[in-house]
Amino acid sequence: MFESRPDRSDEVVLVGRSNVGKSTLMRELTGHKVPTGQKPGVTRQPNHFDWASEDFMFTDLPGFGYMQGVEDGHEEAIKTEVVRYIEEYADNIMLGVLVLDGKAAVDIIDRHSGEDEIPHVVELYYLLEELGIQPVVAVNKMDKVDDRDERLDDIGERLGLYPPWKQWQDVIAPITAKKGKITALEDAANNHFEAAKRDELKQFFS
């Protein structure tokens, strides 16, 4: 279903539900215009940004979850393709940035936490870990959250990261992409690049 991938070795992927602000964040990171919209599910194919002269690119993977005007089977197919893409290119993916809506994430996770059900975002987080991809959780739209620390503690806890969230600042990054406030994500990414002895990649998160 997904079209071909540019021939780049190192990659940072953005994943998450529809309408959490992945494309807005991508625009902040790359400085390039990215299609965004009020309607969930605007991104249906991976958006690859391989403009840099280095052997590196950002990829904005399609969101999953509710999409206006899209039949259920198609939503499921997109989620399957996202997982397949991550599995197939796991060796190339340096970071998996899981973007959450700070205001809605806890409710959405809890709503999908049944006896035999793992919420998709939690599943994705564990998938990244299992494949040896460093996950960074970009908790977006934090300007709309009043109880900031409590909310970040709750999100961390649902991902198996026990509070306080501040001990996980390499993994949990509170941001407001629309206002260009993404320093916490840049810091987390750069710490991982440093640990991996890949300082040349830090330019993409500065």
Q: Please count the structural domains in the chain.
A: 1
Q: Is residue 31 part of a domain?
A: yes
Q: Is residue 109 part of a domain?
A: yes
Structure tokens at 140: 């977006």
Q: Is residue 4 part of a domain?
A: no
What is the predicted pLDDT for the residue at 64?
Answer: 79
Residues 12-59: pLDDT tens digits? 999 999 889 998 999 999 987 765 544 444 456 888 998 888 899 999
Angle at 67 between CA 80 and CA 160, to 5 degrees: 55
- The enclosing domain of 186 has a CATH number of 3.40.50.300
Smallest Cα–Cα separation from 40: which of 7, 5, 15, 66? 66
Q: Is residue 55 part of a domain?
A: yes
What is the predicted pLDDT for the residue at 116?
Answer: 66
Phi-psi region of 148 (alpha: psi -120 to 50; beta: other; left: phi over 0): alpha
Indicate the pTM of the whole model: 0.91
Q: Is residue 135 part of a domain?
A: yes
**pLDDT < 50 regions, the chain:** 37-42, 67
Residues 144-155: pLDDT tens digits? 999 999 999 999
Is residue 178 within 8 A of residue 168, CB to CB? The reply is no
Question: Could you list the residue range(s) of the whole structural domain that residue 168 is in?
Answer: 10-197
Q: Is residue 2 part of a domain?
A: no
What is the predicted pLDDT for the residue at 139?
Answer: 98
Q: Is residue 202 part of a domain?
A: no
What is the predicted pLDDT for the residue at 112?
Answer: 78
Distance of CA 125 to the CA centre of its chain: 9
Residue 118 identity? I
Cα 172 to Cα 49, 54, 88, 162: the distances in Å are: 24, 27, 25, 12
Q: Is residue 1 part of a domain?
A: no
What is the predicted pLDDT for the residue at 120?
Answer: 85
What is the predicted pLDDT for the residue at 42?
Answer: 47
Q: How many residues does the chain have?
A: 206
What is the predicted pLDDT for the residue at 69?
Answer: 53
Q: Which residues contact 181 (CB under 8 A, 6 or more apart)?
A: 142, 143, 175
What is the predicted pLDDT for the residue at 3?
Answer: 73
What is the predicted pLDDT for the residue at 181?
Answer: 97
